Structure 1
Amino acid sequence: MVESSFKHLIYEKEGKIAWITLNRPEKLNALNRVLWHELGEALDLAEKDEDVYAIAVTGAGRAFCAGDDIAELNALQTVKDAYNLFLNDIFPIVKKFLVCSKPIIAAVNGLAYGGGCEIVMLCDLAVAVENAKFAQPEGRIGVFPPIASVFAPYLIGRKTTAKLLFTGEPMDAKEALEVGLINQIVSAEKLKDAVRELVEKMLTVAPISAKLIKKDINRQLVERLEDLKDSLHNMVLIALQSEDYKEGTSAFLEKRKPVWKGK
């Protein structure tokens, strides 16, 4: 049943699962400021609900999440705007994924690019459909991917991360499974059932044990995120102030190839 209404997100409870559905299908569920905030609010709802054991995040339509809303990024007017977006809007939500006491499962129903792929990394477990694609194409528009740069080497290894970030090319579900980005591949019609079955297995573990397990396995990631926060924001700002960023986002929106200047 639908528990709360949001503009760009659907929050539903089903037994012991809180389903969070990114709901901007016409934009391939691209993450704008409103959706980031609503995602944080939905995680808070699930965290506070004693009936919820696990949280599942999925997308409406044919995509899981296409990443950050490029039009919104391109509209940032000042360095202060960019700093506020990442420090006050995005960073706290990223941390919530890690410190939330309940297991979070990514139910990847299609492409997961940029911020969408990073959400998969932030989730504790991930089940994906056969045609799912995963990519970090931020470099192709002159953007620095702060979350992937921190978590991907830890999750999938340095060499795989380097290929993912340096090329921007997508990996398919089979490769994502092989490198450890996801746990399971299923057909589209079995995606939600696979999540339900996974949660049923998880319910054999005491809630207090699950909380302690999550806290411990994410401890290093939380500490690393905090330690690198200032450095990450500085790198994001360097990218957003560059001529390459302006050219990259303009080229993306105008559907043409960018002409890089290297500055």
Structure 2
Amino acid sequence: MSHSPDDLVLVERHQDVLTLTLNRPDQFNAMSEDMLDALQVQLDACRDDAALRAVVLAARGRAFCAGHDLKQMRTHEGDADYYRELFTRCGRVMQALVACPVPVIARVHGTATAAGCQLVASCDLAVAADSARFAVSGINVGLFCSTPAVALTRNVPLKNAFEMLVTGQFISAARAVDTGLVNHVVPDDQLDVAVAGLVDTIVAKSPVAVRIGKAMLYRQLNMPLSQAYEYAAGVMTENMLTDDVSEGIDAFMQKRAPRFTGK
């Protein structure tokens, strides 16, 4: 395991899977400016990592992430330029999760609040422990979680998201899976096994198809229907011409496991 600057994000590479672990356990992994920068560095590096197959976002300690570092924010009281830069910086990290060329899976335990919930919503997939809880709780201190709302409303039906945003109340892991915020909820002691199983399933697929597919999925979301289909047809044509598709079809017809090469 290697460390990012100041050890705020622990970096572990196992074959083609990268695990990034938030490492401010005594502060419930609150996202300080330095932690945001450390995450940004790691996520930016993923863009040029041709061998990478998946990223797991995890955390140490009792919480997944308590959101922004409120103590740090209070030292800049009244400084509008600072706050705008901070929220913009956080938004860049969230967009980097989406822009990462391979699936990013949140491994969630404990609590994920405010920008911590935003982190979960910004990942492509999420697996939560049964005891995990989620909230966008800024409203409790007079602050509507506007930037977390961007990610939340792209994952959760509007009425459910709005209730979370205006009440600040926690929802359970079971509720989170019902609303689409997370994919799976498992017993606490099965969290690592469940995450590993999901990673293994993804890694067994064609690397080129997964990368093409993730990029395509997000790009078409905001297109008009006819434009989305035109774009998707072009992407699928490109995908059909890859060696992996030829191998996959041959393997299917020959009733054997495919041997994907990522070409």
TM-score normalized with structure 1 length: 0.79
Structure with max Cα Rg:
2
Q: State the secondary structure of the residue aligned to 1:56.
A: strand
| In 1: Cα distance, 2:13 partner to 2:84 partner | 35
Equivalent position amino acid for 1:127 in 2: V
Tell me by how many angstroms 1:220 deviates: 5.7
Deviations 1:28-66 (A, max 9, x none): 000010000101111123333333200000110111001
Deviation sequence 1:58-87 (CA, Å, 0-9, x none): 110111001110011111141111122223
Distance 1:185 1:68 in 2: 25
Q: Matches of 1:80 and 1:186 in 2, distance apart? A: 42
Give the alignment of 1:72-91 within 5 angstroms: 72-77=72-77, 78-87=79-88, 89-91=89-91
Counterparts of 1:208 and 1:182 in 2: how far apart (Å)?
25
Check whether the contact 2:40–2:96 (CA below 8 A) recurs between aligned residues: yes
The answer to whether the 8 A contact 1:95-1:222 is kept is no
TM-score (norm 2): 0.79
Name 1:5's counterpart in structure 2.
4
| Structure 1 segments of 4+ aligned residues over 6 angstroms from their partners | none
Cα distance in structure 1, aligned partners of 2:11 and 2:46:
9
Rounded Cα–Cα distance in structure 1 between residues aligned with 2:73 and 2:222:
26
Return the structure number with greater relative CO, CA threshold 8 A, min gap 6: 1
Cα distance in 2, alignment partners of residues 131 and 110 from structure 1: 6
* Matches of 1:171 and 1:188, distance apart in 2: 17
Unpaired runs of at least 5, structure 1: 224-263
> Equivalents in 1 of 2:10, 2:151: separation in Å?
27
Greater shift in the superposed pair: 64-73 or 182-191: 182-191
C-alpha contact 2:54 2:203 (8 A) present in aligned 1: no
Give me the whole-angstrom Cα distance separating, in 1, the residues matched to 2:11 and 2:196.
16
Partner residue of 1:255? none
The alignment covers a number of residue pairs equal to: 221
Name the % identity.
Answer: 30
d(CA) in 2 for partners of 1:79, 1:148: 19
What is the CA deviation profile of residues 122-173 of structure 1, one whole-angstrom value per residue up to 9, with x for unaligned ones?
A: 0000000010000000111122323332232231101101111010000000
Aligned-pair RMSD on alpha carbons?
A: 1.7
